[in-house]
Each structure stands twice: as C-alpha cells, then as structure tokens.
Amino acid sequence: MTKWVYRFGDGTAEGRAEMKDLLGGKGAGLAEMSNLGLPVPPGFTITTGVCTHFYAHGKSYPAELREQVAEGLAAIERLLGARFGDADNPLLVSVRSGARVSMPGLMDTVLNLGLNDQAVAGLARRSGDERFAYDSHRRFIQMYGQVVLGIENHFEELLENHKLDTGVTLDTDLSAEDWRTIVAGFKDLVAQELGHPFPEEPQEQLWGAIGAVFGSWMNPRAVTYRRLHDIPADWGTAVNVQAMVFGNMGPDCATGVAFTRNPSTGANEFYGEYLVNAQGEDVVAGIRTPQHLTIAGKQASRLALPAMEEVMPEVLAELYQVRRTLEDHYRDMQDIEFTVQRGKLWMLQTRSGKRTAQAALKIAVSLVEEGVIHRDEAVRRIEPASLDQLLHPMLDPTANTTVLTRGLPASPGAASGQVVFSADEAESLAVRGEAVILVRIETSPEDIHGMHAAKGVLTTRGGMTSHAAVVARGMVRPCIAGTGDLRADYAARTMTARNIVMKAGEIITIDGSTGEVMIGAVPTIQPELSGDFATLMDWADAIRGMKVRANAETVVDTSMARRFGAEGIGLSRTEHMFFEADRIGAMRRVIMAEDETGRRAGLAELLPIQREDFAEIFRIMKGFPVTIRLLDPPLHEFLPKTEAEFGEMARLTGKSVGAIRQRAVALHETNPMLGHRGCRLGITYPEIYEMQAAAIFEAAVAVTQEIGKPVAPEIMVPLIATKKEFDILKAIIDRVGRKVLEGAGVSVPYLVGTMIELPRAALRAGEVAETAEFFSFGTNDLTQTVFGLSRDDAASFIGAYQRLGILEHDPFVTLDVAGVGELVRIAAERGRATRPGLKLGICGEHGGDPASIRFCHAVGLDYVSCSPYRVPIARLAAAQAKLSGDLRDGTA
Ligand code: ADP
Ligand code: MG
Ligand code: MG
C-alpha cells in the first residue's frame, strides 16, 4: 500500500529533510524540526504524490487516502487530548500548501479550521477567553471564505462598518460580543454569495481545504510562475495539516519570523520581528508595526516598541537555542516562523533563507571560518550569476530609502541623478558635470547620446529586451524598464506614481538589480573586491582547472579585466582599431586601391597606430598571454556608402566619383556575414595581415624590453574553413616574425593558431592542428553557421521557440551542446589527436555563461574567455564545474 501521509510532532517524524520532493519544503522542514526535538505542533503531510495522482485521475484521490488522513488526525487528537469538531475540547488545525520550492500562486494557508458554532463555545470555555475564541472564528470564516470558497473580500468592509457603528477604531478593542456579531455577519455574507450556508461540518471543511490546495497547483498564477522559473508541472504540491497553536490568546502570546543571520549583510546576528497577541500573517500583513526580537535590532531601526528581549526574555533565550540547533544542523542560514502561546514557544517553519549576493558571500565564508562547512561547499553555494550584483556600484544596504515605484531590473547597478525627460537635456546637463537619470516612456536609437550621458535609464514601458534595456546593458548603465504605474508627462516635465509627482531636476535613485526607483539620492558603495569576495575567489581559483581570460581590446577594458582577475586576453578584436575616425580613411584607401602599392601606402600609415594599440595591451597584461585576432569584419563594412562619402573618397584618392562608386558597387555583398571577410581578406590582401603581424611583433619586442620579461602574443587567424588558408597565412606571419625578432635580437614566445568558427574547420580540425598551435572556439559564429541563423535576427522569435519547447535555451546565451557543442568536442578530440597538448579555448560569449562553462570543462578546454565584467563569474563557474566533475568521476 502506498504511503500518502507522513506524520510529525512530539519529537519524532516519519519524514526527513531530504524528502523535500515528496513532502514539499514546508513538510520536510516540519518533519526535520520534529526529529531534532524542537517544539513543533503535531500534524501530518499529504505527499506531492497525491497531487500527481489527483491530476492523473480526473481530480480524484487515491483510495487509501481518506483512511490515512483519518489516522493522521486521530494521532494528533491522541497527542493533544482534543477532538476534531468536539463541542467541549475541539482540535483546530491549519491547512498549509507547500511545494518543493516556495511558490507564490499556491493556495494561502487556512488557520483555525475545525471551528463551528459548537466548537467555538468549547474553545471559549477551555481558553477562558471568549474574545479570543470569536476572533479566531471570524478569522477562520474570512480565510476559508476567500481562499477555499473563492469569495471576494467583502469581509473587511463588513468589519469596518461594524467598527464605525460601534465607534471602535482598533481590532483589539472589539469585545467578544462584537466578534460574535461579526461572525454572524460573515456567515450571512457567505450564504448570500454562495447560495448555501458556510460549511459547519469540520470534515467537510478539511476536505474542502485539501481540495483547494491541490486545485491551486493548476491555477493561472501558479502556472505562470512555474513557466517563468522553469518548475516542472509534475512536481506537485504537498498539503500540511497541523494542530493550531495560538499567538492571539493575550499579552503572553506572540507570533514572529526570523532569519538566523542578517539576510542583507550576512552578519552573524539574529534578525527577526514579532507581534504580541497576533496570529500568523499579521506580521507581514503590515496592519501593525512589528517589533524587533533583539534590543540591538530595535536600536538599529530606531523603533520605540519594546524588543522581545525585553518583553519575553525566556522565550527569546529559547529561540536562540533553536537558532543554534537549526544552523548546526542545516549548516546554513535559516528563515523561521514561530508562535508563542501563553509563554510557550512553537516552531512552525524553517527553510534556507533568501539573501542578497553580498550576504551569501559573507555567510559562506563565515561558515567556513566557523568550521561548519568545507571550502568546496562554500564555493558550491554561491550562484555565479549573482556576483554580477557585486561588481557594479551598489546601494548602501544600511541606507533608509523611500520607494517611489518598481519596474523590471533591466540592467544591474545603481545610480542617482536629476530626472530629465529628453536625451538632449541629459547630454547638456552631463556636459556641465551633472548626474542625470534619463526618464522616457521608451527609448529609440535617437536617444543613444542621452543614454550615454546619463548615469542611468528609466522607461515606463518595455521589458527586459526593450531598446532601453539592451542598450543600457551594452553600455553598462543601470536601467529599469516597464515601471507600469509610473506616468511620464514630457510636456509638463513631470512623472507621477502613487500620487507622488516628481519634477524634472529632482533627484531619484534607481537600482537596476532590484528594479526599485527611490526618491532622493541613496548613497552607493563601490564594489568590494577584497574581503569575503577575494577570499571566496581565492578558494575558487585554487579549485578550478581552466584558466579564465577576458575579451578586451581597449585600455579601460583590459585594465578592468586584470582587476577582475583575468589571466590573459582570449580575444582582442582588431577591427575597432580600423573603424575609429582617424583610421577609417586610411583603411578605405587600402580597400579602394587598385594595386598593391596603393594598399601598402595606406597600411604604412596604420602600422604605427596599430603597434601602439598592441603595446598598450601587452603592457597591462605583463606577460600573460594575449590572443590577437587579425582583421575579421566583412570588406563591405569599409566601403563608402553615401554620395558624400564617395566625394570624400574621390578627393582623398584623386580618383573620379564615378570610379569610386563603381568600385564600391563591385565590392558590394548581399550577405556580408558569409562573404569576403576574416582570413579571406587576409588571403586576397596579404599586405593587411602582414602589417598587423609586424605591428604585433614590433610591439612585443618593445614591451618585452620595457617590462623585462617576455610578452606572449597568440596570433589568431579568423574564419578559416580549410587548412590551406591557414597555412598560407601562417607562413606570412612567421616570415614577418622572424624578420622583426631577428632584427631586434629579442625572442618572443609567440603562437599562431586559429579560431574555429565554421563547421568545416571543426570537422577538419585533425589536419588543421598539424600547423595550428592553438584553437579558440568562436562559438558566436559557430552557432550562427550551425543553426543558419543570425544572432541579431534570432531575438525576434527565440522566445517563441523556447515557449514551444523547440529550443530549451537561447543558443546565443547558453551553448547548444547537441549541435555546436558536438562540433567543439569533435574539433578538440581531432585536434589533440594530431597535436597532444594543443591549447584550446573559447572566446564566444558563451565563455561567460556558467552552464556553457561546465561544458567547456567537460570537453577539456584550457581556458574560457569572456567580457571583463564576467571574469569573476567565470572563475567561480569554472571551479564549480571542476567540483561537480570530480563528484561524477568519484575523485572527490
Ligand atoms: P506561507 O507559506 O505563506 O508562509 P504558512 O503555511 O507558513 O504560509 O502559514 C502562514 C502563517 O500562518 C504563518 O505565519 C505561519 O506561521 C502561521 N501558521 C501556520 N500554521 C500554523 C499553526 N498550526 N498554528 C499557528 N500558526 C500557524
Ligand atoms: Mg510560512
Ligand atoms: Mg567570428
């Protein structure tokens, strides 16, 4: 017979913490606390298996369930000496939903179930507190009415009317008689709405609530939440039925919530709130101001209301014990719920507490220092992507803030500034040194200069992929998009939310990591790269096998890459070096020239500029390897396009406008991404690569002499399809290298290798490796060519593809293991079969994506390379990949 019901309470339990899948998070936590001997009101958990059965069998229960629930209930009754539905000593229970992971959208908890007109009288007699009994009854009808019977909330209205009639303002001033009248009113309301009376029979109440929990698993809110968070529908929810304990029985009663450590800073201090004479959710409902547990907490928040430490010192002492027990046991920060009934503490929930990225770091590092967990465990516990929050300037977590509104956290980081409503205004104020936040309904390409000038961007419309969001992320500007209730009025130069009007020039602060818009300037703090962050990164570095490099070519990015711990440059693109205003002219002359002499003249102008570009990178990298990719963009992009450009070109070259136009037309490409680009340009215009090689070697010689140790250039030929292409170009590079190095009498340990970004190159990797000294997987282009899909165009339908299940991930974010990954694996194997020890890396954007990094580790790459901001993320992800790989081969 299948076991559908697991009991807990009285110092034992049939379940355990590890049984989350079956019991849900709440059920597993209650069982575990019971096993630990903590005071948990007795109860039982109906498993997630019942939920699965429910939906597989036309919303019906397994045959044995009724009997098992009856036994569970009887066990509670025996323990407490009370009886469900009894007129003299009634057992009351709560019915609580609980999936594996906490899931908004599921049914809310119903408290005080089992009350009816007879039972409430018994409860009043037994407790000696009529007022409490009738207050509990009305709470039950209200909760059950809303949550199980689906009655809209007219209950509060009725309550308010009664208070007006009797001239009472506080709930606590209502008498037993008042509550009795209100209960009658509530019941009438239910009868009216439902067409039949409120269920008085406790068994009917119980099964109604159980059915409502299972039913809520498929309600639209829950379904949406699961879709957004990748939670499978077949997990199901469990139902917990638990004896009630009462925090609303008088001044020696209370209810509260606490974190065993500070969830925003991670400090090892008890952090919690409670309310005297209250039940359940009153603490979070915001009707009354909750009080702090500790005097320290009370002082920090400048609250006058007494701390539990002052009012119920023995209870707090006991809570400290519980905190100790739970942390020792779970070896992690816990989030707990408790109730105090007439001075006795009862535990109602424990789970691993949600925390900020900063707190997560501090807690993990502290737990290692306290000897509670191993370093490996600390490294495993930090979500790599969460580090992103720490690398941008962030708001001082101790600052007091007033939130104006919330939107989507579209680009991380925080910024304060004056509100401006146009890009031009943003720019003109920024020029004067003012900090501004650009507020727009939405942005378009005409706003780019304003976005650039602003410290942050806020749009009232749009989502995570809106123009504002995408551009802001690219510019590393904080951005909040889609602040639904905020209205921007360009004409009046105001924005309004919740009846608060803010004018242009007033200061706001936006937090692009949380989506919060705050009034005034909130102080920010610079990312903390020392302390706990540095400690954890050191541990990660000691674990990981793969190196981490950065994709960077500017001085700013290269320096940042070093600061974030990059061990070299994995991709330095040379095209920006040709597109800058002072260079594009010379480059165009090269392309438009009809013969080699003409080309060489243009290139001679570019050589010293290129040399200095490379020298700067070598200087910053101080001997770490620097992969330089030779010119890659389509020829097309260098062509003059407008009549004005034709004229300018004609003037520069002394040719006729007609001749220029003709040549531009001749070189025009219909599909430039698949056209005359990469090494094909190097083959047809060898002078270009020759010049670049000379610039690299000359810079390497100069910087080697300057810093007194050899620099390590790795020269990369892009877009090869055949070995022959590579061989021709490698011969040119080696010839230039010999000439420069011998001439200078300096030895530079350089490598010449290739980017593997076309399927043919991946398949022919065995022969390519005969001459290529390294491979770097260019997975952006490899993904484009494998899928036959351009990265920019993919955005318009990848979302739909994911929803339909055609693709699990966006292949331009997370490496497609089945297709692109297979080619990477083949190329790695074939390359290394020819040349053992062939250096392998990845320089596509996947190099900064934790899931893709796991794959890179599995196929044995030597390094991953990613954007500078992602370097710490990659360092951590590489360590985690190593740890889970070790677990799989049993070496750990
Ligand atoms: P949520 O998942 O929304 O926190 P819970 O099931 O934990 O819902 O319950 C909501 C509130 O009711 C919490 O404050 C909880 O502590 C309280 N509560 C639940 N069961 C009981 C009970 N048996 N006795 C007293 N309070 C309870
Ligand atoms: Mg709870
Ligand atoms: Mg490419």
Closest CA to 486 of 453, 520, 462, 511: 462
Q: Strands 291-292 and 271-276, how do they pair?
A: antiparallel
Beta strands in 512-581 (DSSP E): 516-519, 524-525, 547-551, 569-573
Could you tell me if 18 and 340 are in contact, meaning their C-beta atoms sit under 8 angstroms apart?
no
Report the alpha-carbon distance of residue 565 to residue 353 in Å, rounded: 30
Sequence-distant (≥ 6) Cβ neighbours of residue 774 within 8 angstroms: 714, 716, 751, 753, 754, 838, 839, 840, 841
Could you tell me if 248 and 171 are in contact, meaning their C-beta atoms sit under 8 angstroms apart?
no
Report the alpha-carbon distance of residue 266 to residue 492 in Å, rounded: 44
Which residue has the least CA distance to atom 14 on ligand 1?
Answer: 280
Q: How many residues does the chain have?
A: 892
Closest CA to 214 of 8, 13, 24, 6: 24
Which residue has the least CA distance to atom 20 on ligand 1?
Answer: 94
Active site residues: 467, 843
573 CA → ligand 3 middle, Å: 10
Which residue has the least CA distance to atom 17 on ligand 1?
Answer: 280
Closest CA to 750 of 763, 726, 734: 734
Sequence-distant (≥ 6) Cβ neighbours of residue 65 within 8 angstroms: 4, 5, 46, 50
> Cα torsion for 14, 20, 22, 27, to the nearest 10°?
60
Q: Within 6 Å (CB) of ligand 1, which residues are found? A: 41, 94, 96, 109, 111, 242-245, 280-281, 337, 339, 348-349
Atom number in ligand 1 closest to CA 43: 23
Distances in Å between the Cα of 156 and the Cα atoms of 150, 163, 811 are 15, 11, 51
Return phi, psi of residue 440, to 5°. Answer: -135, 160
Element (H, E) at 459: strand 456-459
Which residue has the least CA distance to atom 3 on ligand 1?
Answer: 108
pTM, rounded to two decimals? 0.82
Distances in Å between the Cα of 575 and the Cα atoms of 105, 621, 626, 716 are 50, 20, 16, 13
111 CA → ligand 2 middle, Å: 12
pLDDT of residue 805: 84
Distances in Å between the Cα of 293 and the Cα atoms of 186, 303, 400, 417, 835 are 35, 12, 20, 37, 66
Q: How many CB atoms lie within 10 A of CB 830?
A: 19
Dihedral sign (CA 270, 276, 281, 287): negative
Report the alpha-carbon distance of residue 873 to residue 357 in Å, rounded: 12
pLDDT of residue 892: 45
Ligand 1 pocket mutation, candidates 349, 350, 351, 354, criterion most atoms within 8 A of CB = 349
Take residue 315 and report the two structure tokens written for it: 């209870």
Q: How many CB atoms lie within 10 A of CB 658?
A: 10
Q: How many CB atoms lie within 10 A of CB 171?
A: 15
pLDDT < 70 regions, the chain: 284-287, 464-465, 474, 528, 581-582, 887-892
Which residue has the least CA distance to atom 12 on ligand 1?
Answer: 280
pLDDT of residue 464: 66
pLDDT of residue 889: 64
Ligand 1 pocket mutation, candidates 23, 97, 111, 282, criterion most atoms within 8 A of CB = 111
pLDDT of residue 102: 85
Atom number in ligand 1 closest to CA 243: 23
Dihedral sign (CA 121, 125, 131, 137): negative
Which residue has the least CA distance to atom 15 on ligand 1?
Answer: 280
401 CA → ligand 1 middle, Å: 29
pLDDT of residue 409: 81
Could you tell me if 366 and 268 are in contact, meaning their C-beta atoms sit under 8 angstroms apart?
yes
Atom number in ligand 1 closest to CA 98: 2
Ligand 1 pocket mutation, candidates 140, 225, 259, 339, criterion most atoms within 8 A of CB = 339
817 CA → ligand 3 middle, Å: 19
